[in-house]
Amino acid sequence: MSEQNKYTPPAVWTWDNESGGQFASINRPVSGKTHDKELPKGQHPFQLYSLATPNGVKVTIMLEELLEKGIEKAEYDAYPISIKDGEQFGSGFVDINPNSKIPALIDNSGRKPVRIFESGAILVHLAEKFGEFLPQKEGRSEVMSWLFWQMGSAPFLGGGFGHFYAYAPEKFEYPINRYAMEAKRQLDVLDKQLANNTYIAGSEYSIADIAIWPWYGALVLGQMYDAAEFLSVDSYKNVKRWAEQIASQPAVKRGKRVNRTWGEPGEQLPERHHKSDFG
């Protein structure tokens, strides 16, 4: 690193200026609301406030998979939360998730509303509620292990590699190399696991696949950070096979569209999404 770019941390860090990058305007070192805003509410059992980011897509795929099985009690209303506009800091959303991150879910199916935040917690809540995509006994620990693997690993892919490769205001060799190495190590972990397994946790489709696919499946399918060539994703043949298999599922195709505020050319996206929007 040149002397010009060398950084010496101060004795005490202070928030003096925006850090730069695509999300600089919403990054801050404190939590809590920045404005008052009530959340919209629908009539279905579940109220989802999210966006079609990888973490958000986990939940909409899960809900659509439950509906695909004919579980009508999984009907939901979904409302987009524009994280670039700071809507996650509105008072209504902060009441549901004090960490101000999407997704957040309200379950109104019981005696009183229950809030659930963090995508992994939402997947477990829905899986246990409906008895789907999470074994009750044999195989449960394997599914849970891979679910928590994803929760711990994805920040290195998104906040690490994705940030420095795609979103940072300047490109620096050290952080890109550091996180590219870790992203490729994680892909190698998955590739070896999938060499002898149809799905991540074995022979059955589970919340482990639903959690991992929006991140690593999208990556190897060339849908994330424009980094497919840089990371040589085609070399992870088992991950690619698995990613393509899951991408072909009807519920996954629907789940990817929910809470997406941007459309493909000529595509019409409804303002408010729930199962009936997809026919």
CA distance 227 to 117: 29
For residue 106, the model assigns a pLDDT of 98
- Least Cα distance to 55 among 119, 2, 116 occurs for 119
> What residues have CB less than 8 Å from 218, skipping those under 6 apart?
54, 224, 243
Q: What is the CATH class of 140-257?
A: mainly alpha
Q: Model pTM?
A: 0.91
Helices (H), 50-196: 54-68, 91-96, 119-130, 140-155, 173-194
The two most distant CA atoms of the chain are separated, in Å, by: 63
Low-confidence ranges of the chain (pLDDT < 70): 1-5, 19-24, 262-279
16, two tokens = 């003096």
Domain boundaries, the chain: 140-257
- DSSP track, 203-217: SS--HHHHHHIIIII
CA distance 133 to 62: 9
CA distance 98 to 96: 6
CA distance 188 to 235: 9
For residue 275, the model assigns a pLDDT of 45
CA distance 204 to 62: 15
For residue 189, the model assigns a pLDDT of 98
Residue with tokens 């009936």: 276
CA distance 265 to 1: 43
Q: For 192, how many CA atoms within 13 A lie in the half-sphere containing its CB?
A: 5
